[in-house]
Amino acid sequence: NAGVTQTPKFQVLKTGQSMTLQCAQDMNHNSMYWYRQDPGMGLRLIYYSASEGTTDKGEVPNGYNVSRLNKREFSLRLESAAPSQTSVYFCASSEIADTQYFGPGTRLTVL
């Protein structure tokens, strides 16, 4: 039982490049989330998916897109990376209301 897994762990991009962050959970949870964490700002919600087939914007969605591929997988895409997107990205999932379980994170640097 791996919980929530994320790939890659680290990534360096040049401005304008694109990439997809992958997230998978094996807990059969309905809801999945993408957050970014910047120093002094806690976790900010980018997008979430309350159930398979649905996605909604969070607090900071600009510059990102998501795909809920199936119940297990929820990916985050940066179409044209910008230095302001340098951050640590966390994926999370939940079943019981509000208790979310987090993946290990992806540290992204955009030069």
Partner 1 sequence: EDKVVQSPLSLVVHEGDTVTLNCSYEVTNFRSLLWYKQEKKAPTFLFMLTSSGIEKKSGRLSSILDKKELSSILNITATQTGDSAIYLCAVGSNTGKLIFGQGTTLQVKP
Point out which residues bind partner 1 (CB under 8 A): 4, 31, 33, 35, 40-45, 48, 50, 58, 90, 97-105
Task: Compare residues 28 and 99 and give the one whose CB is closer to partner 1.
Answer: 99
Burial (CB count within 10 angstroms: exposed 0-12, middle 13-18, buried 19+), residue 41: exposed
Least distance from C-beta 55 to partner 1, angstroms?
13
Six-digit token string for 45:
């919600």
Enumerate residues 6+ apart whose C-beta is below 8 A from 99.
Answer: none
Least distance from C-beta 14 to partner 1, angstroms?
26
